Amino acid sequence: MAEAARQYAFHGRKNHRNCSEVSHDGHISIEDLRNALQDDTNVAQIQRDLGNNDELKIVDYLTINIPNYPTPIEFHISNVTHVSESFDQILESEGFKGKAHGDDEKLSWWSMKIDKESIQAAERRYLDTVFPDRSQEQTERQEPFLHKFTTSPAFDKKSRYGNFRFTFPLNDLMKTYREQVCGDRDPVLREYKTMFYKQEIMYVVLVHSPEDNERFEKYTRIENSPFVDYEENQIVWKAQAVGNAIRYELMLNEEDKIAQVEPEARDFYYVWDHVCLAFHLDDILHFPKEILINHCKGCDLAKINIAKEKNDTREKAQKRIDHLKKSLEDS
């Protein structure tokens, strides 16, 4: 395991939400992460940073034996979301501010919006890979199955960060960033961080101006990455772990060239990965207030509520948004 200790440098800290957070510069696979976290040198470094001697909980999830599972799964994503409890501040500033991260860079964080159609398209891609020569008849016999595995918070309509969800086409967000930050030049995307918590593994893609190439040159550009790409105004996420609770086993019928699932007697709790875009901002990414309001919807809070909100509900948030929309129409 000495090789893993030399290859990887992890940094642990308590983030602004007082959660234990560990990061690694660049993107690494779940398999490499599993191997690295079984190295005592890496674990000791992380525990020194975090200031505690508890066993890293993620190791328990990484090392369980899970049933056969569809991976990797390739999602093509055209819409991104920013969920916040700071609705009033966003409207007041007419845009999104960058917040200082652990290395003091100011970043605005956006998640992938994955809908039912995206899951169905990802399923077709997966089957085309495992059964490249299946017939049309075999294709038509295939029952949908991927939705039974996409159980992680990456696919949850509920929010862990607030009741107000802003959703934008990625193309529109990139266009605004290009005009306001990049001097009408194309933004640069880089493999910024692999960050992990108890079960969650997050691949952070840094988006920055070409003027900052030297500033961020130590991070690899997004080009044919095994984890995430940017193609034709879409994020291509090559998911390794789409479910944090695995309830089925995947059975690949080679003779009939179809995928089948068998229910498990118990749930297997595993890690889950996802992609976030982190837009580098020294100022505010401006949008007219009308656009902000029209691109926002109320959402329910998830059971695990990182934002620690207790008072608002989706209905209350949506009522406030609808009131502002009506005020805009009346004016």
253-287 residue pLDDT tens: 999 999 999 999 999 999 999 999 999 999 999 99
Mean pLDDT value across the chain: 91
* Separation of CA 27 from chain center: 13
Ranges of H-type helices in 64-198: 87-93, 116-130, 136-141, 170-180
* Plot region of 264 (φ>0 → left; ψ -120 to 50 → alpha; else → beta): beta
Q: Where are the domains of the chain?
A: 73-330
SS3 5: helix
Residue 311 pLDDT greater than 60, yes or no: no
Residue 314 pLDDT greater than 90, yes or no: no
Q: Which of 195, 216, 169 is nearest to 275 (CA)?
A: 195
Q: Which of 27, 22, 25 is nearest to 11 (CA)?
A: 22
Number of alpha carbons in the 13 Å side-chain half-sphere of residue 225? 27
Contact 74, 125 (CB under 8 A): yes
pLDDT (mean) for 231-237: 94
Residue 81 pLDDT greater than 60, yes or no: yes
108-159 residue pLDDT tens: 999 999 999 999 999 999 999 999 999 999 999 999 999 999 999 999 887 7
pTM over the 0.85 mark: yes
pLDDT band at 6 (very low <50, low <70, confident <90, very high): very low
- pLDDT at position 4: 39
pLDDT (mean) for 79-105: 88
